[in-house]
Amino acid sequence: MARLRAALIIAAFLIVTLPCMPVQWLLVKLRLPAARTFPHRYHRIVAALFGIHIKVVGKAVSGEGVLMVANHTSWADIIIFSAVAPISFVAKSEVANWPFFGSLARLQRTVFVERQRRSSTGETRDAIRDRLLAGDALVLFPEGTSHDGNKVLPFKSALLGAAEAVLADGRHVKVQPVSTAFTGLHGLPMGRENRPLFAWYGDMEMVPHLWEAILAGPLDVVVQFHEPFSLDVMDRKALAARAQEIVQSGQAEALAGRAKA
């Protein structure tokens, strides 16, 4: 029955996704405001299909450009973040070339980072800054990689310089730490040994891992939006360290079942 359920979920995912792709392509091509919000509505449906139950704590910054910095555990983070807020992502350039999923990333107006060329950091930072000044909400994973979901890796500060962008009213763009934690499986508390069922890291292949995650069953996730701050009160390295501390604390609280209501 688990395999039949998983097969039906994949079929429903394709039935929903394939017609939505040309719609989003047209919205992006015409530069319509709905290009920001359509993926949000789409991913809410996908989260429901995949059985991803999301508890949101706090409130996402809205109505202005914001750089959200978060821990990164899995491909599921894309669904989770986009289901809770109209956002785009900053991702490694390799993602753009992935079959099918690369197309989805481009349609969500992802900013791609060429990690192999240090000289590209400035160009990427400028591209992020332009998007923030245009009012976009971007999610950056400063750890630089995903992991098993039981910890938070050190945050890298290089791209946080994009938050030096100054808005028309003289304020710096806000940086909002966001913590995520995979907390439950089938409605029961999830132990650390079960998080690799959903955490995607190392040399795991995406499609087989996706299949096994769907087989594993419904997933409970806590997403906590913390108070934002900006580079007008600290430099980017201090900001990275502070954001990591906040995200790590938020994740630990959620994993211990102490997430605030």
Domain ranges for the chain: 2-255
> Considering the entire predicted model, what is its pTM?
0.90
pLDDT of residue 243: 93
Distance CA 188, CA 194 (A): 12
pLDDT of residue 107: 97
Distance CA 159, CA 143 (A): 11
Residue with more model confidence, 160 or 88? 88
3-state helix, strand, coil in the chain (%, to 5): 50, 20, 35
Distance CA 256, CA 261 (A): 14
* CA-angle at 230, arms to 156 and 33, nearest 5°: 95
| Mean pLDDT (the chain, rounded) | 89
Q: Does 2-255 carry CATH code 3.40.50?
A: no
* CA-angle at 12, arms to 57 and 210, nearest 5°: 65
Q: Is 62 exposed, middle or buried (0-12, 13-18, 19+ CB in 10 A)?
A: exposed
What beta strand segments (E) does 118-244 contain? 137-140, 174-185, 188-189, 219-225
Report the pLDDT averaged over residues 23-38: 96
Report the pLDDT averaged over residues 127-155: 87
Q: Is 179 exposed, middle or buried (0-12, 13-18, 19+ CB in 10 A)?
A: buried
